[in-house]
Amino acid sequence: MALSLQRFTWAYNDSFFTQLLKRRLRNEKERSMLIAINKLDHLPENLIIEILSWLSVKDLLQYKSVCKSWYAIISSPNFISEHLKNYYNNNDDWRGCILVQHYVTHAELQLYELLVNETPRVLADEVLYNIPLYSSYVCGPCDGIYYLYQYDSSDRALWNPAINEFKTLPKLICKADLPSSLTYAANEVYGFGLDPITRDYKVVVIKGYWSNNDEETDVKHPLSVLVYSLSTNSWRYCGDLAKAYDLESNKCYLNVNGCCYWFGSFEYTSEVIVSFDMSTDEFKDIHVPDYAQPSSKCLGIYDDCLAFLSLHESEKNLEIWTWNEGSWTKKATVGPFPDVRGPIGHWKDNRLILQCEDGELVILDRDAQEVRDLSFQNERWCGGVFAYMESLVSIKDKTESQQAEEVEA
């Protein structure tokens, strides 16, 4: 599973020994493919499709070269959807990897790959220095795809590491009637997800303004909303938010039923959660639950719902709230956790990830009523945690896909 990420950190060595090793591995792969063909060749095609749809992406990429019929099956949109439903949603193999982002400096970020067992405990960790857009913020995964944002260069991209696809996004457009006295600020919040109606992958970016007029530096301006569509490979301006919110970037992937969410405030006092519907381009304000204050807090996902996680700063108890059908429900209060700094996000099976005062990461399993040390420590502040998920979903347009298929054939 994790080998699909390792390709970005593997140092190329063209030694004679390496060439012999590659040849040996290639011969082993060919023998495995021949065995697979002999076992499956006599089966009906629909049964072959069903069997293949439960295999890992790594295996399927190899089996595409078994024969033309298998290549056509594995490359078809229907099979990719079936694979998402079967392997992606029901197989636990991909769940044993977490991507953790840490700040090196204000301008530099490092992305770690943590291989985690079911205990859970980190078996191995590695810095992904050769991620295609190094030192970038990460958002995802949505169907195995990640959105990357490089703060210094303002470069943006989509990335599917499992199939080694990377797509640079066009430059962000500006509001057509933006006054000359205003300039877009460098800071922004963003979301990424799938429009459940059009089945189009979209990125939403929310940006504020700087005033070029010294007399207006304290004036708060509404935030602009810009949306990227993968199907058109273009950005469009979707208007401004009704208020000049101060929104916080999410520390984990937040997309529930086609909606993205951000925690923020208005005029530094009124706390609010802002949601964006990928299908309707509609924004809504959601009030925060009546949680114990003061707290370290973040948004997450719990019971497949939007969750509000807050750790009381003095009592060190963690409150878990979920948003469903227009109201908040307090699911639990757990703790105390005297060494915990605050919640970071969620993982599988309603497990929550917390960061300790010394930078150590722990996982809270409320059902088992236990906290497990991941045995991974970084003294720097954690910028986010994201699951690693594999998929065959392509982010290339039709022309790029045809060119890639010609090369593979």
| 3-state SS, one letter per residue, for 245-306 | EEECCCCCCCEECCEEEEEEEECCCEEEEEEEECCCCCEEEECCCCCCCCEEEEEEEECCEE
Report residue 367's pLDDT band, with 50, 70 and 90 as the boundaries: confident
pTM summary value: 0.86
Distance CA 116, CA 97 (A): 6
- In the predicted model, is pLDDT for residue 406 greater than 70? no
Q: Locate all alpha helices (DSSP H) within 11-126, ordered by sequence.
A: 16-40, 45-52, 57-63, 68-75, 77-83, 89-90
Summarised one tens digit per residue, pLDDT across range 91-138 is 665 568 999 999 988 778 999 999 988 788 898 999 999 899 999 999
Q: How far is CA 162 from each of CA 7, 84, 100, 170, rounded to the nearest angstrom?
A: 10, 13, 17, 23
What pLDDT, on the 0 to 100 scale, is given for residue 96? 82
What pLDDT, on the 0 to 100 scale, is given for residue 13? 42
- In the predicted model, is pLDDT for residue 14 greater than 70? no
Which of 6-15, 197-206, 248-257, 293-302 has the least mean pLDDT? Answer: 6-15
Summarised one tens digit per residue, pLDDT across range 319-365 is 999 999 999 999 999 989 999 999 999 988 899 999 999 889 999 98
The residue among 380 and 3 whose pLDDT is bigger is 380
What pLDDT, on the 0 to 100 scale, is given for residue 44? 82
What pLDDT, on the 0 to 100 scale, is given for residue 394? 96
Which pairs count as long-range contacts for 359-367, CB under 8 Å and 24+ apart, including other chains?
A: 361/100, 361/385, 363/120, 364/318, 364/334, 366/320, 366/332, 366/334
* High-pLDDT (> 70) share of the chain, %: 81
- The mean per-residue pLDDT over the stretch 252-268 comes to 92
Q: What is the DSSP string of 79-92?
A: HHHHHIIIIIHH-S
Summarised one tens digit per residue, pLDDT across range 201-210 is 999 999 887 7
- Strands, sheet with 182-194, edge to edge from the N-terminal-most edge strand: 182-194, 201-211, 224-229, 234-240
What pLDDT, on the 0 to 100 scale, is given for residue 4? 42
Summarised one tens digit per residue, pLDDT across range 173-199 is 877 666 676 777 777 899 999 999 999
